[in-house]
Amino acid sequence: LEETFTFTEFLEEKARSTHNGIQPWDELKISSKDAEKYASGDEDTKERIDAELDASKAKYVEPIKNRFTQILKKSANVVPSAKVLVDVKSNKSIISKIIRKTPYGKMKDILRSAVIVQRQEDIPKVMDALRKNFSLYQLKTKEKKKDPLGYYGSYHYIVEFGDALIEVQLMTKRLWTYKELGHEVYNKWREEIAKNPNLLNDPHYMKDNDELRKDVALSKRIFSRGNGANVRI
């Protein structure tokens, strides 16, 4: 494509994929009840579901992983020292997400990836390459004012690859490093947030929970630091 896009136009770009959002691995149905049994340590359920998930990944995910990685690396190589990470979601994480009400067949991060760049100004260049190599299904921009934990500065693409939708996270190396610290705070409160999705936006709960209030403030400082702010964490 010859046209030159500004950064704002990238963020406002409309999806070009016509994918219906249902993944090829939707043929495997895992109920919330079975997911709960798996998480509680029921050995028979865990053994059965692990075998089913492993077979599903072998059929639908592993065959596309290498080719997808090649094309993603081609996109990332437009800037120097970019790093590409591609992995397959663990069974434990899949079960956790099912418990949090996302069906297996609608998960877009079974095969998930990240492009880590050195500088903020590298990001539009990689965006342009991604746009040329993949059809965009969705772009989620992490914005400081909208995320209760203060996570901002990264760009989460969902791209179409064959019959599958795949997540691509794009951010700087600095933010990626601090994101790992921020994720520790999220993991601490993940179960509570799953039970009450509006937990972090509830001023009464926040006011009465000193530990949560301090952790939210810590998370916001972590992500500010990850985006270059000189703040103490």
Residue 220 scores a pLDDT above 70: yes
Residue 174 and residue 116: Cα distance in Å, rounded? 9
Contact 8, 74 (CB under 8 A): no
139-195 per-position pLDDT tens digit: 999 888 788 889 999 999 999 999 999 999 999 999 999 998 998 998 888 878 777
Average pLDDT, the chain: 92
- Compute the radius of gyration of the chain from its Cα atoms: 19
Contact 40, 47 (CB under 8 A): no
User: What pLDDT score does 4 carry?
Assistant: 59
Placement of tokens 């985006």 in the chain: 227
Q: Give SS3 for 230.
A: coil
User: What pLDDT score does 3 carry?
Assistant: 53
Contact 86, 164 (CB under 8 A): no
Asked whether the whole model's pTM tops 0.85, one would answer yes
Length of the chain: 233
57-106 per-position pLDDT tens digit: 999 999 999 999 999 999 999 999 999 999 999 999 999 999 989 999 99
